Each structure stands twice: as structure tokens, then as C-alpha cells.
A and B are shown apart, each in its own frame.
Chain A
Amino acid sequence: MKVSVPNLGNTALAAKALFDSLKIDYIFPEETSTRTLEIGCKYSPEEICLPFKIMIGNYVEAMEKGADTFVITGSCGPCRYGEYCELQINILKKLNPKANLIVIDSPGDIGKDELIKRIKLISDNSPLSKSEKIKAVYNALKVINAVDELEKSLRFKAGYELQRGQCKKLLYSLKKALKDAEHTKEMLDLLKYYKKVVNDIPVDKNRHPIKIAIIGEIYTIIEPFSNLYIEDKLMDLGVSTIRSLYPSWWVKNMLMSPLKLQSLDIRIASREYLPHYIGGHGRECIGEAVLSQRQGCDGAIQIFPFGCMPEIVSKSILPRISRDKDFPIMTLVVDELTGEAGYVTRIEAFIDLLERRNRRCII
């Protein structure tokens, strides 16, 4: 069995840490490219949303490298993501009869026994003892938390850095080093080392860069290819970006949800505008728009794939938040046909607008 996961920000790194220490063969997913998307579009239903297509592309590229088992998470909210597995199994079986898709779903939907059975499908391939397996999961969590934390602070520091482009360079060298690391121990050491480096980046604290919050659908804001590397583009423009939806956030949110303690701040902030969970991350999007305004961001950019149902609801609410709080919010809809030039123009125009707002005469 050779396991692989679809790309989703830094999760591929965490999966590498997990499967390496479990001593299970793991294929690191190829970085998503135009080719991935082309393959994905070829095999996917026409009307499905962008994440599905990219995921199919990831599967095919991993299969070319020999992977045969894929692990994804499920959901049972009313958003389409929960139905992905059904269609993806059909597509995978057609492409490769030996392929296997393991869906880690919530126990409320499939039952506890079924969940344990599915986890066993993976863990039985590992020669380690139970305690060592738990240790491996713990290490993977440590990796994802540390990577996300580093990425978060680098993206924020990009606006303050003295040497232009340093943060971006560091971020990429970090990801490359982690990808090439041979075992989990090395990854953890690397993370420790990079933490020190990131803390020591020379910054100009007197600068007032533009700060933008990235909100919207979780896949399209986490996976950089699907949003045409918007955060990197903003880094190049000397803009600090803030985003709270990281894979580590998702893990924490999922673990806290049985106790109903998940993302309390978001729930309180969104209560005025959207008091119910509507599936996907629609409510988080609203909550974050409100929170980012409070935290002193200059504006927010909402990104979602074409046809995303929960985000359409939040898109209709955002103009009111924008009016009430005098807070510019731009919505970008991405799909496989998004052209880069028009996209960049809109981002640049938005940044110009924010800059002028800061410079306006108050008297």
C-alpha cells in the first residue's frame, strides 16, 4: 500500500510526518500545477466546484508515481464537500481498479465502529506498537501546528520586513527543507531552527503597511494554487496578510466541536449577521470579516470557488458589514477558467483603494 493525500496547504507535510513515522509508504503529492488542473477537469463532472477538480488531478498525479490509497476527510454539513467521496470513488475506480479511497468521516454520520474500521485500514499497515502510533499522530499534529504558525507570522511580517522579499524566500526554503527531510525528527528540528530565524528577521516597527484579511471558502484560501497564489502576490506588494483558517485551525475546530467549544470568538462576532451554521465555512467567513475589522485590518478579500453554496450566502451579507463598519471587502470568485491578468488587476486596484483611504485628509 502506498498512501497519498490531496494537496491542501501544509497538510501534505503533516501527512509526510505521520506516515513516515508510522513506517507506511507515502507519496508526497506533486505541487498543484496547471497540468493537475487540466487532468482534474478532464475526469470531473463539469458543474462541480474547483476543489473537486484539483483533488482529482492530485490523485492522478500521485497514481503516476505509484500511489494507490488516498486518505481524505469527510463532512456531513449541507455543503457539497461531504458528497465528494461518493463521486471520487466512482472516478478513481474507473481510472485504476486497484485504487482505494479512505474517507475519515464524523462518527455521528457513519457510526463509531465504521470509523475505527476505516482507521484500522491504514494503521494495520504499520509495524509499530500502539503507543508508538499515538506518538506518530502527536508528532504530525506538532508539525502542522508549527508550520502553520511559522507561515502565519511570515505572511504577517512581510509588510514590515527591511529586506524586500526576505519573508517569502524564507517561507519557500522552509517548505522545501521540510519536504526533503528524511524523518520526522529532522522535521521537528528544522521547525525549531526556522522558528528562531523567523523571530530574528529584521523588521521596521514604525512602518504602517496595509493589512488584509483573507476570508472565504477554506479550500480556496488554504491551497495557494486555487487562489492563484494571492498571498504571495500580496507579499510581493508589501502587504501583510492575516488568515485564521489554516489546517491546524481546522483540526482544533474539529476536536473541539463535540464539546461545542469550537471557535467561540467567531460565533460571537457573527451572531449579529448570521446566527446559524449554514454548512461549509459560511459562518466563519462572516465572523472573520467582523473580527478582522476589529483587529485593525484595512480590508478583507473573500475568495470562493464558483457555485459555492454557503459562500454565496455570506457574499450577500458582506456588503452590509462593509457599510455598517466602513470596511472595504472585495469578493473574488475563482474557477478553472480564472485568468491571471484580470485577477491581478482587481487585487492591485483594491490595494490602491486601501492606500488612498489611509492617506485621505480627515479635516
Chain B
Amino acid sequence: MVVGIPKGLLYWKYGFGIEAFLKELGVEYIISPDTNRDILDRGVNTCVDDACLPVKIFHGHVHWLKDKCDLIITPRIMKVAHREFICPKFCGLIEMLKNSIEGLPAITEAPANMDTREDILRWLMSVGKLLNCNRREIINAYKKSLHFFENDAVGYNDLNYPLKVAIIGHPYNIYDSYLNMNLKIKLNKLGVGVITEENLQREEIEEKIKRLYKKPFWNFAKNSYGAAVSFYEKRAVDGIIYISSFACGIDSVVTELIKEVVDDFPFMVLKIDEHTGDAGMDTRIEAFCDMLERRVSYESKCSQFGEYSISCKGII
């Protein structure tokens, strides 16, 4: 039996855990390749057209895997922590896949709550049963793979660059370099280092969230908002870039909340969708970096209105 792991959506968070679990069980598995043009096209052709780009790409990965394996692991992640959910599309992902892709092999359908260890075990148990493993084997494999589930990804933190920007967004938008058109490499080439939210302490993010009128119930919203605000307040970066997929419901709220706080601090929202031309994207990134450079070299030396306001007074 061959198991397929699609390299999309929360693979970037839980993929290593799932891989370690399968390795421990001694099950043969394949991972779909990094996102490429072929996978994007497959996704766009199969998925319902209103969905966002990451969901379409996930469909592409599953489509690529469907003839190559007997079971595809598609976690239906309902929540990641207590009262912290993800987007509704994750909860209905299985139904979307089943109704959009023809000739699908078996897929994992059980809901996966990632908030406690028991819940992780319960989900792995349901996966293990589909692989015909017995209880003891599953518990053993679970124990050995648990730390992969609980540890966050390392994240980016570039040192030795003259400028630094924080990249904020959902993990699959940040780490899938085809999806974000090699944003990190492009920034590095322009002499800008990159830092992501994983470099912040959990407590720091929690503390920022308390200021909101209502605690956001989306895990992504909490992390993105908390991270952007603490980077801004510590002035740890020169600017913030938010990668957001077109028509993302969560981002439409979070970017507004961040804008409310950062005021005139450099903040850019990069929209990504299935168009593959990257000239427009390059222009925006270059313009943003130019702006950061000039801000550092000119703006800090004099007040924004100082000289000008005096001369104005003179005229009046």
C-alpha cells in the first residue's frame, strides 16, 4: 500500500509529523513534488472557481497523487488550539475534493483537532486503521512522531542584510515559493533580509491579542496580527509585507486590523492569485524596497514637516 501526502496547505505545519509517523509505521509513502505549473493547472481545472489559490493548489497536488497511491492523507483540520479555528474551507476540504476530482482513491475523512495530544492521537489512530496497523504500532509511532507535531517550523531569519522586512501571512503562502513567486529570494537579491513570525515568543503574540475587543477565533488571524504588531512595536524590522491570496476571508479582516495599528509604518499587502506573470509583482517589491532604502537614508534625519512648515508660515 502506497500513501500519498499532498504538499499543500498545512503540509508546511504538520507534514513532517505525518512523514515521521508513516516512517515509524514502515509504510511506503510518496510526497507530491513542489508546486509547479502543472500542479497549478490541474488545481485550477478541477477546483470550484470561487476558491482561493492555496485551496486550488491543494486540489492540484491531490490530482497529481490520485493515480500513484492507494490512500491520500488529507487532514480535515477543524481547530488547532482551544477555540482557535482555521478557515471554513479547511473543515469542508474533504467534501470539496470528493466532489471536484473524479477517480479519487481513498482519502482520510476523520476530523483532526490539533489542540490536545489526545486529539492528535485520535486522528492518527483513524489514519493508522486505514493502513491496517494495530493499536500498539500506532501508539508507538505516535509517541516517536509527536515532537514533530508540536514543534513549529523554524521560520526564516536572515542576518547580515542592510534592511529587514517581516513576511506575514498563512504558512502555506510564505513557504511555498511557487505560490509567492520566490518572494524571499527576490527580496534577498535586493539586499533585504526576511524574518517570519516563528522567531517571536508565543507570549508576545498572546499579549498583543488581548488589546482587541474580541479575541480572534482564527489561529492565522491571531498569529498574523500578533506578529505584525510586535514587529512594529519593537521596530525590529524596516517594513512589513503581508502575503494574502485573493478573496481570502481571513486576510480581509486581519490586514485592516494591522493597518489600524501601524499607521504610516511601511506595510504592503501582496495579493497572489493564479496568474503566473511575475512582472507586476517584481515592480511592487522593488518599489517597496526602494521606499525602505530612502526612508532609512533621508527621513530619519529631519522631521517630516519641520523645514517645510516654517517656509509655509513665511509665505502666509
For window 206-258 of chain B, which residues contact chain A by CB distance below 8 Å?
A: 212-214, 216-218, 221, 247-253, 255-257
For window 252-309 of chain B, which residues contact chain A by CB distance below 8 Å?
A: 252-253, 255-257, 260
Q: Which residues of A contact B95 (CB under 8 A)?
A: 273-274, 313, 316-317
A189 touches B (CB below 8 Å): no
1/0 contact string of B81-98 vs chain A (CB within 8 Å): 001011111011001100
Bound state CA distance, A65 and B47, in angstroms?
47
Bound state CA distance, A212 and B88, in angstroms?
27
Question: Which residue of A has the minimal Cβ distance to B217?
Answer: A76
Question: Which residue of B has the minimal Cβ distance to A87?
Answer: B256
Bound state CA distance, A109 and B99, in angstroms?
34
Bound state CA distance, A9 and B250, in angstroms?
27
Question: Which residue of B has the minimal Cβ distance to A283?
Answer: B92
Question: Which residue of B has the minimal Cβ distance to A319?
Answer: B99
A333 touches B (CB below 8 Å): yes
Tell me whether B85 and A80 are in contact (CB under 8 A). no
Tell me whether B89 and A313 are in contact (CB under 8 A). yes
Tell me whether A83 and B247 are in contact (CB under 8 A). no
Known: A78-B91, A315-B48, A316-B95. A109 touches B83 (CB 8 A): yes
Q: Which residues of B contact A280 (CB under 8 A)?
A: 88
B191 touches A (CB below 8 Å): no
What is the interface of chain B mostly: helix, strand, loop, or mixed? Answer: mixed
Q: Which residues of B contact A90 (CB under 8 A)?
A: 256, 260
A312 touches B (CB below 8 Å): yes
Tell me whether A307 and B99 are in contact (CB under 8 A). no
A344 touches B (CB below 8 Å): no
Known: A276-B92, A313-B96. A85 touches B50 (CB 8 A): no
A278 touches B (CB below 8 Å): yes
Question: Which residue of B has the minimal Cβ distance to A84?
Answer: B253
A64 touches B (CB below 8 Å): no
* 8 further interface pairs, Cβ-Cβ under 8 Å (given A78-B86, A307-B249): A78-B88, A83-B221, A85-B214, A282-B88, A306-B247, A314-B92, A316-B96, A319-B99
A and B contact pairs by CB, cutoff 8 A, 21 listed: A45-B255, A47-B251, A76-B217, A77-B85, A77-B88, A77-B217, A85-B213, A85-B214, A87-B253, A90-B256, A274-B92, A279-B85, A282-B92, A306-B50, A306-B247, A307-B252, A309-B88, A309-B89, A313-B92, A316-B99, A316-B100
**Closest 3 CB pairs between A and B?**
A313-B92, A47-B252, A316-B48
A-binding residues in B (CB < 8 A): 47-48, 50-51, 76, 78, 83, 85-89, 91-92, 95-96, 99-100, 111, 212-214, 216-218, 221, 247-253, 255-257, 260
B-binding residues in A (CB < 8 A): 45-49, 74, 76-80, 82-83, 85-87, 89-90, 103, 105, 109-110, 273-274, 276-280, 282, 306-310, 312-317, 319-320, 333
